[in-house]
Chain A
Amino acid sequence: MRHFEMDKQKSQKGSVGQSKHHDSAIKQVCGTANYVDDQAAPIGCLHGYPVLAPIATGVITSIDTSKAEALAGVKRIFSAKDIPGKIDIGPIFPGDILLTDKEIQYHNQPVLFVVADSYETARRAAKLVDIQCETSTPVIDIHDSIEQENWVRPPHSLQRGDAQGAIDNAPHQLSGELSIGGQEHFYLEGQVALTQPNEDGGMLVQCSTQHPTEVQHLIAKVLKQPFNFVTVETRRMGGGFGGKETQGAPWACLAALGTYYLGCAVKVRLARADDFRLTGKRHPFYNTYNVGFDDNGVISGAHIEVNGYCGYSPDLSDAIVDRAMFHADNAYYYPAAKIIGNRCKVNTVSHTAFRGFGGPQGMIMAELIMDDIAAALGKDALEVRKANLYREGRDITPYHQTVEQHVLKDMIEKVETEAGYWQRREAINTFNKTSPFIKKGLAMTPVKFGISFTVQHLNQAGALINIYSDGSIHLNHGGTEMGQGLNTKVAQIVAHAFGVDLDTVGITATRTDKVPNTSPTAASSGTDLNGMAALNAANTIKQRLIECVAEHFNVEQSSIVFEDDQVTHAKGQLSFAELAQLAYMNRISLSATGYYATPKIHYDRAKAEGRPFFYFAHGVSLSEVEIDVLTGENTVTRVDILHDVGSSLNPALDIGQIEGAFIQGMGWLTTEDLQWKDSGELASFGPATYKIPAIGDTPAEFNVTLFDSENPETTVFRSKAVGEPPFMLGFSVWSAIRNAVGSITEQRYVPPIDTPATPERVLNAVMDAKNWLQQNSRDEKTKEASHD
């Protein structure tokens, strides 16, 4: 395994570690940062739109396109028969059908593809196609799939020790279940692709995708062409969040089909409601648990089953349910554990990657267990959480990876003190006793999130650096920019390596003909992988430059320093631009590729053992909420977060990721309510019915601090991945809502609340608690009466 040392630690002077603003920020505020649909369309550009199945499950019996074809401006309507190569565009396993000609497996599955001279005409024509079907009954309820063992991929389980024995022998046992809602990505820029013939008979594809290489490969396969037939370019996305890892591909493939046959540019852009209906979402889950624990709440055995609601095809569900299993412990040690993961098939769109990639749906079980144990023992949940944390000697995960870094105890204690956990706990108890309708709740939850793709081969990256003879630099790498600031961070790394100002580094669009065979920008790995690859490329050129200076000026290599746009050596100084010119005149290559593969990781799936993660990222969040016991309305009033990004490459961008992820996690757990009708139709298909957090949902007090530490592993400048981990800090909101409901029974009974905790679910929990109280006080009275 390759291993790269860093060129030097960050210093005050260099670019790394500074809060530079996003490289596109000025363009974004001026409206000049272009997205795919903003490109000036080539002359003669046509527009394509999919024709959608009117039912969820069944067989197509006839299709009448005559009305659509009669519409002025319609150029051609494509069906599965027109696809020269593969119809199945499943990214890893087969199952994702580009256009179906017979079997319909989810509501609105694409059947045909209309190409017309305008976006409006293509959409209108698509609606005019009449598709007749024999309808069958869709499976929508996950419990039906579990009962029928209807999987998209086989189950997998993790085991360490004898979980059932440990549970049976423990002083206390508890069990529970939780239904966890899905989540629509709601990237502000919907799915879009523009394809056009290039000058040499191939095809240029501009696409909003986190995975240009996969789009390239799939288009080539669909068209039965070699990979070098297709070049995919992605400058920036208007948000991705995992929703453009595989879900960008079908629309690019369809546009490419149009370009292939019609020889002109074709654009496909999904209208928002169709984007909702046709693209996969975060998997809803139904999970159960069984635990045994002692009087202190310390767990001795845990049995957890996670069931992912995968939709009609595998897509990425195998790895997503794996990650749910890998995170069913969150930050807590289970001395004996059995964790089962099922990949349930249901007749909806195929659910897909979304920030956290199954991790949140597994991790929530650990937090549910902590709260339930605390309620059962009459303890404060924070005490139970602290008692169960991984620590030295109690450090082996259910997948047999040893947890080596133990910072959560310190982090929790810091927040506990600085945010005044116990004082506020007392104040809330007092408030709740007298407040008639509003009840407050408080909860602190930790996050431990494993960093690396669990599919090992994806943990690699490439970069290309070109220095021009005036010293200006072009940087290209395999990662894609979706707002997270990846390009900014990688540019900072390169600027730092050459000791030049960040403005010297020009960022270019991600293109498959510049850096090939790339991995998706996903799993929070963008900077870890591409940053390291770029650093390696920079170091290759830098070494050439050092040798050039050493030879030209006859100085020791060790005396040469790159700093402040200058290169200083034992005998003098020259500007970086002068050095570039000097190197060029001396016929030294100023271009280099860089490559990186993550060391140390391995996983033996047959044994369910290994080290799937290079390291873990950590965070702690304390949330205070209010609920209204008359309506179930709820609101988050204060949040304190301490998060571990290792040694930050760019604190402002890291904090931006943490704040944004937290709010997105909060939305997933509170207002974002995906619903399907029994017919398989998506009921919440637009922002009018699906509510992501709005500006007023931002907690009035929202403190985010970076934990001062370095990554013990040799990542780029000892930083840590930040994209996904803070998403799960949102659990503190859900847990605090349960805590607020629990105040009705003085925490003696804390009703379960499925997610999202909508006003309706919270009100139901309130009623549940009130009924328990009534029942219980009646029982107590009866008891007292019988004592008399």
Chain B
Amino acid sequence: MIQFLLNDTAIEVETCSPTLTILDWLRTINGKVGTKEGCATGDCGACTLLVGEEYIDADGSKKWQYKTINSCLMLLGNAHGKHIITVEAVTISKYPKLQDLHPVQRAMVECHGSQCGFCTPGFIMSLLALYINNETYPGKSAVLHALGGNLCRCTGYSPIIKAAEKAYEYERAQEPWSTMAAQFKQGLSNKQNKTDKDNNEVPFLKSGSRIFYLPQLTDQLVNLRAKHPDSQLVSGGTDFSIELSQNLILPDVIISTSQVQELTQFTDTQTCFAIGAAVTYHQLMDKFCAEFPESKELFERLGSSQIRNSGTLGGSLGNASPIGDPAPLLIALNASMVLVSNEGSRTIKVQDFFVGYRQTVLKTNEVISQVLVPKRSDSLKLACHKISKRFEDDISTVCLVLAIEHEQGVITQARCAMGGMAAIPARAKQVEQQLVGAKMETRSITHAATFISQDFSPMSDVRASKEYRLLVSQNLMQRIAHEFEQSIPVTNITSLPKVRIAHASL
């Protein structure tokens, strides 16, 4: 059984297709049709809703945080213990007048932010999250990041950008949900204490012989995995759910890693970050980007806010997509990953994890548990570049990450990893060879860049031709050389309007 809070109602579900998404559950079983399906692939944001989770803040007190997710990608089982808020809950009145609306709704009406209205509930939820999580107007940049995963085909966005600011002009609306959520959670743990002997039961959903498991502990996870070697592992589901809705796959057993305690921890040691495989991008970005500010744009352009609130490093690596952005970054940073099973654990380099198109060395009884990223050395120079047709929420045509160590003007180590250039995310070995031992100057880098075509023979596809991929990656090295030469302080990397295309809106 799983239990969660939907708006103000506690929900218990036991019998249900293990592959049902929250969106389909809401629309076809629960009758809540305010949340819309625009694409069912997490690209349009029409199905955005809020997921509240309990967390312990710096003072050690329990708080609830609400974040946006694409409900077309979130499996119902992953909602266990959480608070789902849909557009129906934003205003209580059934026949509201303008002044009865929540400030974000009222602002959207007054700014003429809805035309056909189909994307609107999704925008309302993204605006609501922005509003709840920011006491005062957080500025245009924050607005764009919050709304980058919501597509609108009618308005051209201007009125929506205005509405995001205007919502703060009205009297501030209090957030009523975390109180409800805390009560719900209290009720859950009371119930759990009563049935102490069942305490170790793994939450599940079942339909006939098909089942969804939500293990809470690593032991439970590895034992389930050993028992069901054909099972499908899922974390945030941002890629897996697309297989469900597009290719109509029908796995019998799904094991979700998303609530396994050890996998959801971010540990900061002296020498490295140990990032649980089920930690979401959103949860890791702040600390990660404080250490590696050069990677900030890469993370900010990784999917959308909704995706970053669900997607995980473990999911991305396990999925072994040749165009996932985290892999080149982790390879260039010489990261490792910990694989656990009921027989123990092993640690391997991220670069050795991929063996072919969507193939990895992960054994059928193994699960990715952690990613270990060594902290930066004083001499590290890092550059991260992503080329895509659209600036936001687009898949990389080419992703290029270069990490260089240097000593007394000479390059001592070079790790250049690229995505979109081969069947797997891979290092540009020839380029690296050219760099190591060369002088730390522009010419060395642009010279090494000419070896990219020896390292890779990319494909032509819908995103770009192979010629473009080769040319643009060489040109990116020219920009990297320029950036290194300017030796712009890494903390100021986003303020480079002169050499980089940025958001149109900023």
Task: Give A residues with C-beta under 8 Å from B.
Answer: 19, 21-22, 24-35, 37-38, 40, 119-120, 123-124, 127, 185-190, 236-241, 271-273, 435-438, 482-485, 626-628, 630-637, 652-653, 655-656, 659-664, 671, 673, 675, 683-684, 686-689, 691-700, 702, 758-760, 763-764, 767
B33, B35, B392, B462: the one within 8 Å of A696 (CB): B392
Distance (whole angstroms) from the CB of B23 to the closest CB of chain A: 12
Interface pair B158/A698, CB less than 8 Å apart: yes
B34 and A31 form a contact (CB under 8 A): yes
| B112 pairs with A688, CB closer than 8 A | no
Within 8 A of A (CB), among B457-476: 461-465, 468, 471-472, 475-476
* A691 partner, pick from B390, B464, B471, B502, beta carbons under 8 A: B390
Report yes or no: A30 in contact with B499, Cβ–Cβ below 8 A.
no
Could you list 22 examples of A-B contacts with CB < 8 Å? A29-B109, A30-B96, A30-B101, A31-B87, A37-B37, A188-B46, A239-B154, A272-B41, A437-B500, A628-B500, A630-B472, A630-B479, A631-B475, A656-B154, A660-B154, A671-B390, A692-B153, A693-B390, A695-B143, A699-B504, A700-B506, A758-B389
B501 touches which of A21, A28, A633, A664 (Cβ 8 Å): A633
Q: Are A127 and B248 in contact (CB under 8 A)?
A: yes
Which of A40, A483, A687, A764 sits near B43, CB closer than 8 Å? A687
Knowing A31-B86, A123-B248, A692-B153, the reply to whether A22 touches B114 (Cβ < 8 A) is yes
CB distance from B490 to the nearest CB of A (A): 19
Shortest distance from the beta carbon of B19 to any chain A beta carbon, whole Å: 9
B387 and A188: CB pair below 8 A? no
B502 touches A635 (CB 8 A): yes
Write the chain A residue with the least CB distance to B398: A631
Q: Given the complex, which residues of A lie within 8 Å of B394, measured CB to CB? A: 691
Contact of B101 among A26, A187, A634, A694 (CB under 8 A): A26
CB of B231, distance to nearest CB on chain A (Å): 21
B47 shortest CB reach to chain A, Å: 11
Whether A631 contacts B476 in the complex (CB less than 8 A), given A691-B394, A696-B503, comes out as yes
Residues of B within 8 Å of A661, CB to CB, are 156
Decide yes or no whether B296 CB sits under 8 A from chain A. Answer: no
Give chain B residues whose Cβ lies under 8 Å from the Cβ of A659.
155-156, 158-159
Given A30-B101, A663-B156, A694:B390 Cβ within 8 A: yes
Please measure, in the bound complex, the distance between the C-alpha atom of A483 and the C-alpha atom of B148, giving whole angstroms. Answer: 21
Interface residue B120 (Cβ < 8 Å from any Cβ of A): yes
Given the interface pairs A239-B154, A691-B394, the reply to whether A25 lies near B118 with Cβ below 8 Å is no
Contact call B98/A26, Cβ cutoff below 8 A: yes
Contact in complex: B387, A759 (CB < 8 Å): yes
Q: How far is the CA of A188 from the CA of B40 in the complex (A)?
A: 11
A636 proximity list for chain B (CB < 8 A): 504
CB contacts (< 8 Å) of A695 on chain B: these are: 143-144, 147-148, 150, 152, 157, 160-161, 392, 505
Query: B469: shortest Cβ distance to chain A, in Å?
Result: 9
Q: Which residues of B contact A634 (CB under 8 A)?
A: 501
Instruction: Say yes or no: is B90 at the interface (Cβ < 8 Å to chain A).
Output: yes
**Distance in Å: Cβ of B115 to nearest Cβ of chain A:** 4
- Min CB distance A535 to B, Å, is 24
Tell whether B187 is near chain A: CB-to-CB under 8 Å: no
B39 contacts chain A at the CB level, 8 A cutoff: yes
CA–CA, A436 and B496, complex, Å: 13
The 9 closest A-B pairs by CB, nearest first: A31-B34, A483-B116, A238-B118, A28-B117, A663-B156, A31-B87, A483-B115, A687-B43, A630-B475
Nearest residue in B to A689 (C-beta to C-beta)? B462
If the complex has contacts A482-B116, A686-B41, A691-B390, are A696 and B144 also in contact, measured as CB distance less than 8 A? yes
Q: Which of these, A30, A127, A631, contacts B105 with CB under 8 Å?
A: A30
Within residues 39 to 88 of chain B, which ones have a CB less than 8 A from any CB in chain A?
39-41, 43-44, 46, 86-88
Cβ-closest chain A residue relative to B107: A29
Q: Which of B44, B150, B157, B478: most chain A CB closer than 10 A?
A: B157
Contact of B34 among A24, A30, A663, A692 (CB under 8 A): A30
**Closest CB in chain B relative to A259 CB, distance in Å:** 20
Indicate whether B133 reaches chain A with its CB closer than 8 angstroms: no
Q: Is B151 at the interface (CB under 8 A from chain A)?
A: yes
**A30 and B90 contact, Cβ closer than 8 Å, known pairs A626-B501, A631-B387:** yes
Q: Do B501 and A485 have beta carbons less than 8 Å apart?
A: no
User: Which A residues lie within 8 Å of B46 (CB)?
Assistant: 188
Q: Which residues of A contact B118 (CB under 8 A)?
A: 35, 187-189, 238-239
Contact with A along B368-403 (1 / 0, CB 8 A): 000000000000000000011111111101000000
Q: A758: nearest residue on chain B (CB-CB)?
A: B389
**Chain B 108-151, CB within 8 Å of chain A: the 1/0 string?**
11101011111111001000000000000000000110011011
Q: Is B415 an interface residue (CB 8 A)?
A: no
CA distance A760 to B467 in the complex (A): 9
A34 contacts B115, C-beta separation under 8 Å:
no
**With contact pairs A31-B86, A40-B31, A698-B158 given, residues A637 and B504 touching in the complex (Cβ less than 8 Å):** yes
Number of residues on chain B facing chain A (CB within 8 A) = 91
Query: Assuming the A-B contacts A689-B463, A694-B391, A698-B505, are A188 and B151 also in contact, with contact meaning beta carbons closer than 8 angstroms in the complex?
Result: yes
The chain B residue with its CB closest to the CB of A626 is B501
Give B40 Cβ to nearest chain A Cβ, in Å: 6
Closest to B245 in A: A271
The reply to whether B500 and A671 form a contact with Cβ atoms under 8 Å apart is no
Bound together, the chains give a CA A166 to CA B479 distance in angstroms of 50
CB pair B156 A188 closer than 8 Å:
no
Which residues of the other chain, B, contact A691 by a CB distance below 8 angstroms? 388-390, 394
Indicate if B183 sits at the interface (CB-CB under 8 A).
no
Q: Which residue of A lies closest to B160 (CB)?
A: A695
Q: Are B35 and A31 in contact (CB under 8 A)?
A: yes
Chain B residues, Cβ within 8 Å of A273 = 246
How far, in whole Å, are A636 and B472 apart by their CA atoms in the complex? Answer: 21
CB-nearest residue of chain B to A240: B116
Chain A residues positioned under 8 Å from B479 (CB to CB): 437, 630
A634 CA to B391 CA in the complex, in Å?
9
CB of B38 within 8 A of CB of A189, answer: yes
Is A436 a contact of B504 with CB atoms below 8 Å?
no
Contact between chains at A694 and B501 (CB < 8 Å): no
List, in ascending order, chain B residues with CB within 8 A of A124's CB: 248
Q: Cβ of A702: which chain B residues have Cβ within 8 Å of it?
A: 156, 158
Question: Which residues on A sit within 8 Å (CB–CB) of B475?
Answer: 630-631, 763
Residue in B closest to A127 when the chains form the complex, CB atoms: B248
Chain A nearest Cβ from B474, distance in angstroms: 9
Given A483-B115, A698-B161: A21 touches B109 (CB 8 Å cut-off) = yes
Q: In the bound complex, what is the Cα–Cα distance between A26 and B397 (angstroms)?
A: 40
Complex contacts, B31 vs chain A, CB 8 Å: 40
Q: Is the CB of A435 within 8 A of B498?
A: yes
Q: Judging by beta carbons under 8 Å apart, are A630 and B248 in contact?
A: no
**Chain A residues with Cβ under 8 A from B397's Cβ?**
759
Kindly provide the distance from the CB of A24 to the nearest chain B CB, expressed in whole angstroms.
Answer: 6
Partner among A22, A271, A694 whose Cβ is within 8 Å of the Cβ of B151: A694
**Given the complex, which residues of A lie within 8 Å of B463, measured CB to CB?**
689
Across-interface contacts of B471 in A (CB, < 8 A): 763, 767
Tell me the nearest residue of chain A to B127, going by C-beta: A29
B210 within 8 A of partner (CB): no
Q: Which of B435-492 contact A (CB under 8 A)?
A: 461-465, 468, 471-472, 475-476, 478-479, 482
